[in-house]
Structure 1
Amino acid sequence: MTGNVDVLLIGIDAGCLPVFERLYEDDIIPNIRSICEGGVAAPLESQMPPWTPSAWPSLYTGVNPGQHGVCGFVTYDGYDFRVVSGNDVEEHAIWSLLDEHDRSSVVVNVPVTHPPDEFDGALIPGFIGPEDPKCHPEGTLEEVREAIGEYRVYPNYSREHSDFTDEQKMDEYTTLVRMRGEAFCYLADKHEPDFGFVQFQKPDTVFHEFDGNWEKVKTVYEETDRQVGKLLEECDPNTVFIASDHGMGPYEKYEFRVNEFLRDEGYVKAIKGGKGMPSWNPIQEELREGKDTQTWEPNAVERIAAKAAKFGLTAHRIRTGLEKVGLADIAKQYAPKNVARTANEQVDFPNSIAYMRARTELGVRINLQGREPNGIVPLEEYDEVRDELIAKLGAVETPDGEPIFGEVAPREEYFHGKNADNAPDIVTIPNEMGQFLSAQLLGDYFAPPTEPWNHKLDGIIAAKGTGIDPDAMPAKAHIFDVAPTIMSALGVPYSNRMDGTVVPIVADAGAQSYSEYANGDGSAMDEKGEENLEERLADLGYMQ
């Protein structure tokens, strides 16, 4: 029997074999297991940095962030930042290339796809879009909500301002997972696409919000697997793939505050107060409320806190004083996150030689003349400064005498293409992805990790069905390989600009030249929307 979908790609954010195999023991994910063990499966190496907003575009375009342009959660205009959107992805997605060959697609909840381009099929954007995203075709979101009852991109509570119990939060998590499956099945039945792509985000978020609590992880995965089972039954794909953007695992070592080290080495200058470094904290609520926020400016209270900080009244001093007299809970209750943020020491970007802009970039940026608005490092000194920094960072050890970094490398080892200049100049990869990096200025170099569970480099790729060679799976594949492999599974030539190669479990359909990417007609976010997106994303804790 031929189903509604020829090739189905199921994205499981942070999915990986160590997590899956632990869930197998309790029989939590029988449908996912049937694909992994009844077909083929292997680790899928992520890219740098192994985080959602840059990794999913790499997966669905087949190119590195230096080519597609999204190197992190935010992009920069000088020293200021805005949250990335689909408009920042400057390479063709799988569904756009398939459209050129008269193949249709349905795409649901894939991150960094708002606003969508036009193609034959339907798309509902996911993470980093607003709560009521522009969909393709127009009216799709309203139609889906009418068909399945409701559809939301984000939870209906914020992490830090909620009286929700853990049980209520888990109900919301499973509701969001269910919405993805039901929305996809409805659209697949309507459009009968050649290619389907549905992504589940909550298997990642549950680790961040609940510190790897295994019972909560099982709850989220149980519903995810239930939806996978429904997808297999109702869409009856000829071939099904599972892929993830990265893995997930414990961080049992240290938090290393990179900018504190750089300050002591003479590279970072600090200021008290001000807007400071990129943060999701002022973004989260507004995104959940449906605004398309991309950037943030302090409000009146936050500006007052920033000014007070210049005279020494920092959030850190206030919190420390309250904690010393046993009022730590009061400190948390009456230090609103955005006020605490502006009332702290910040990196003085224009007057620093080099700095970490955001911890999730996993890298250090040099304040280069001619590139940065107030660059202070002459171009002729760039190589010398970078080499010196690489040597110093590479030599940093934990208090236990272990290296902080597994690799410290020039960016060209990981980024190439027309947008490589968006990336950090130096890539800093934590040792065994077990050291938590921080960009904050908090006095000490080392502390316990802010998050006890976080991203690992190896995700997963699995496949089962028509055209899959069960004996041809390599020991490991790369995230760049997913796009050419999916297109080959559909018998369609992939782009010769893709960095990946076809995983040999399918017959290679060959490469061809496609036109250079030009931005679609998706509208950019308005000012109100920009305020909203940043406020909502704080819930995920990716920025400090």
Structure 2
Amino acid sequence: MGARVLVVGLDGADWAILDPLLAEGACPHLASVIEQGARATLRSTVPPITFPAWSSFLTGVNPGRHGLLDFVAWTPGRYDLRFVSGSHRRVPTLLERLDQAGLAAAAVGFPGTWPPPRLKQGFVLAGFDAPVAIGPGPDFAWPRPLYERLVRRHGPWVYADVDELKVGPRWYRGARRALLAGLRRKARLAEALLEERHWDLFAVHVGETDTAGHHFLALHDPASPRRPERVDPVAAGTLRDVYCAADRFLGRLLHAAGAEAVLVASDHGMVGSSDRVFHLNRALHAGGFTELRHPGHRARLGDGVRRALLRHLPARTKEWIFRQLRSTASRMERERRLGGVDLAASAAFSEETGYAPSVRLNVRGRDPCGVVAPDEVEGVRRAVSDWLLALRDPDDGQSLVARVDPREAVLWGPAVEAAPDLYLTLGRDRGYTWTLLPSAGPGPYVTRLEGRARLGGKGRGTVGVHRPEGVLILSGAGVDLPRVVPIWDCAPTLLELCGVKPPPGLDGRSLLSPACPQPAASTPAPVVPAQLRQVPPLTYGPEEEAVVAARLRALGYLE
């Protein structure tokens, strides 16, 4: 029993957090894997967020080809949104390719794997896109009997979401306990799964590192502008303790798997956010590109009541509310992203998601209230880009926007047309990324979080935010990694480690050097074609959509 190749996905792990822990010997198992192989900076997708990034990790192609650009997708020809799942991915994952080659692959908890593919040899437990509220049930694992047997012995898998509507001292303590307990439970279940049979590839996702980074980075970093004046020492040590617990998790799996090769990767990195806020639609309004609606008294009152209720209601009650909302979950998200924009009068606008700063043009013939003529698109894109790059911090004159990329410069493939027209890289405020929050009507496009608002929570952004630079570690004699590795190189590398030749047509390439010993095989390694998946997308039902939306809110991705 055990595994030939072991993969551990440390969601949101960052070398800037990990390196000091390695230097003091606090993460010996990660240090051992590095010593037996090599390390690199992993370059994430654009945007560097969970669904696109892990899908590129699993498929070997960029988001423009696999099609998962965000947690939601726009309905063509409309301003409507729908929540998406792994069934919307257009390219097979390495799990399906290994299964087609007759090999046994197990993947536990990776986002973007619901519904689980019905592997003949393997096992998949879906990630947090599984539409269940308290851990996945048997419908979200394949094969079901194996998961049911594991649950009876070890309890269910738990997702790393924590309700962050009530940030404060008690919340920090409770979130810390939940994250550390979740890692211990996951280790027991993963060890039990490794005892079931010998796996050719065994991959486990750890979301606790990402959640801890989002909510505890300001407490970990003494210089953070979002650090509270009084810090509970136990809470301040949470990010460190979660990383160390993830290292112990890895150690247990190394012992149980006895793997020939080990790959540890994050989907993106993590950096602190500023207490200063950039309102992108207000900036576009100042440039004459966006017309904003003035929020009425009833809208402000309703939003305040909603936040107050959600702040004080128990988690199960909030879950029940979101279930009762049923088909309104996607409409609520659409209203949050677009409700403040007068679309009929706007040439461009932003959805103002903090995790993916971007701008969409409102194009005539493509969008229902299109303003920009098709032959004017390039000129308007250049004008928007020039305007944003010229914006300066009124305090120190530094750029608010460091870079603007047209979508075709960072994505390629059939899904590019569904992407925002421009992707932004925000500037830094004293070394911290600007906090991007929605524009509540016209007003200044630079504001500051005051008092308790600096701690984070709904409507305030998280204290830790994604950055493209992540973590990659690969063990093996002769492994020589380049300094920076695109995330889509991981899938072909893992295929080759399992003795399967990567198919032609992937964006990624195998990282195995000629000196790296190849897996012994009595027959030539099978080649699995790079065809598109022939599986129709599975749409969430109303209750399922509401549950997924609630989890994304708890994780801090949705307001």
What TM-score, normalized by structure 1, do the two folds share? Answer: 0.83
SS at match of 2:392: coil
Instruction: State yes or no: 1:355 paired with 2:355.
Output: no
Distance 1:426 1:249, change over 3 A: same
CA displacement, residues 23-75 of structure 1 (integer Å, 9 cap, x when unaligned): 22443321112112332111111111111121111111111111111112221
Q: Distance in 1 between matches of 2:59 and 2:100?
A: 15
Q: Which residue of 2 aligns with 1:532?
A: 547
Q: Distance in 2 between matches of 1:235 and 1:369?
A: 56
Distance 1:185 1:351, change over 3 A: farther
Distance 1:87 1:12, change over 3 A: same
Q: Which residue of 2 aligns with 1:308?
A: none
Q: Which residue of 2 aligns with 1:456?
A: 467
Which of 260, 268, 272 matches 1:250? 272
Q: Which residue of 1 aligns with 2:89?
A: 89
Q: Which residue of 1 aligns with 2:130?
A: 129
Which of 475, 480, 493 matches 2:501? 493
Range that drifts further, 166-175 or 100-109:
166-175
Matches within 5 A, 1:436-447: 436-441=435-440, 443-447=443-447
Which of 191, 215, 218 matches 1:209? 215
Q: Which residue of 2 aligns with 1:426?
A: 422
CA displacement, residues 499-534 of structure 1 (integer Å, 9 cap, x when unaligned): 1222244579897643222226x8532111112211
User: Given residue 546 of structure 2, which amino acid in structure 1 is its aligned partner?
Assistant: E
User: Given residue 441 of structure 1, which amino acid in structure 2 is its aligned partner?
Assistant: A
What TM-score, normalized by structure 2, do the two folds share? Answer: 0.80
Q: Which residue of 2 aligns with 1:515?
A: 531
CA displacement, residues 315-372 of structure 1 (integer Å, 9 cap, x when unaligned): xxxxxxxxxxxxxxxxxxxxxxx9xx97997123354211112422321111112222
Q: Is the 8 A contact 2:337 2:352 kept in 1?
A: no
Which of 337, 361, 364 matches 1:366? 361
Q: Distance in 2 between matches of 1:378 and 1:96?
A: 43
Q: Distance in 2 between matches of 1:39 and 1:180?
A: 26
State the 1:154 CA deviation.
4.7
Q: Which residue of 2 aligns with 1:175?
A: 181
Q: Which residue of 2 aligns with 1:80?
A: 80
Matches within 5 A, 1:4-403: 4-77=2-75, 78-119=78-119, 120-131=121-132, 132=136, 134-155=140-161, 158-160=163-165, 165-214=171-220, 215-252=237-274, 254-271=276-293, 272=295, 297=328, 346-359=340-353, 360-399=355-394, 400-403=396-399
SS at match of 2:177: helix
CA displacement, residues 235-271 of structure 1 (integer Å, 9 cap, x when unaligned): 1111101011111122348432110011122222223
Q: Distance in 1 between matches of 2:424 and 2:337?
A: 28
Q: Distance in 2 between matches of 1:499 and 1:173?
A: 35
Identity across the alignment (%):
26
Q: Is the 8 A contact 2:322 2:547 kept in 1?
A: yes
State the 1:82 CA deviation.
2.3
Q: Is the 8 A contact 2:58 2:491 kept in 1?
A: yes
Range that drifts further, 163-172 or 124-133:
163-172
User: Given residue 378 of structure 2, which amino acid in structure 1 is its aligned partner?
Assistant: D
Q: Distance in 2 between matches of 1:402 and 1:162?
A: 31
Q: Distance in 1 between matches of 2:510 and 2:321?
A: 39
Where structure 1 has 5 or more consecutive residues not aligned to the other structure, the ranges are 304-337
Q: Distance in 2 between matches of 1:100 and 1:415?
A: 28
Q: Distance in 1 between matches of 2:336 and 2:95?
A: 42
State the 1:218 CA deviation.
1.6
CA displacement, residues 429-464 of structure 1 (integer Å, 9 cap, x when unaligned): 123682333343362211347444221221111111
State the 1:220 CA deviation.
1.2
State the 1:285 CA deviation.
6.7
Q: Distance in 1 between matches of 2:22 and 2:321?
A: 38
User: Given residue 528 of structure 1, which amino acid in structure 2 is its aligned partner?
Assistant: E
Q: Distance in 2 between matches of 1:458 and 1:293?
A: 39
State the 1:108 CA deviation.
0.4
Q: Which residue of 1 aligns with 2:485?
A: 477
Q: Distance in 2 between matches of 1:202 and 1:266?
A: 42
Q: Distance in 2 between matches of 1:173 and 1:193?
A: 27
CA displacement, residues 112-162 of structure 1 (integer Å, 9 cap, x when unaligned): 11111111211111223233352111244432211213432255x622259
Q: Is the 8 A contact 2:327 2:542 kept in 1?
A: no
SS at match of 2:218: coil
Q: Is the 8 A contact 1:290 1:532 kept in 2?
A: no
SS at match of 1:160: coil
Q: Is the 8 A contact 1:114 1:126 kept in 2?
A: yes
Q: Distance in 2 between matches of 1:295 and 1:446?
A: 36
User: Given residue 64 of structure 1, which amino acid in structure 2 is its aligned partner?
Assistant: N
Q: Which residue of 1 aligns with 2:458?
A: none
Q: Is the 8 A contact 1:123 1:135 kept in 2?
A: yes
User: Given residue 244 of structure 1, which amino acid in structure 2 is its aligned partner?
Assistant: S
Where structure 2 has 5 or more consecutive residues not aligned to the other structure, the ranges are 221-236, 450-460, 519-524
CA displacement, residues 283-320 of structure 1 (integer Å, 9 cap, x when unaligned): x9799679899986389xx99xxxxxxxxxxxxxxxxx
Q: Distance in 1 between matches of 2:484 and 2:94?
A: 22
Q: Distance in 2 between matches of 1:538 and 1:30?
A: 34
Q: Is the 8 A contact 2:160 2:208 kept in 1?
A: no
SS at match of 1:5: strand
Q: Is the 8 A contact 1:144 1:151 kept in 2?
A: no
Q: Distance in 2 between matches of 1:510 and 1:440?
A: 53
Instruction: State yes or no: 1:435 paired with 2:451.
Output: no
Q: Is the 8 A contact 2:66 2:89 kept in 1?
A: yes
Q: Which residue of 1 aligns with 2:234?
A: none
Q: Distance in 2 between matches of 1:263 and 1:159?
A: 31
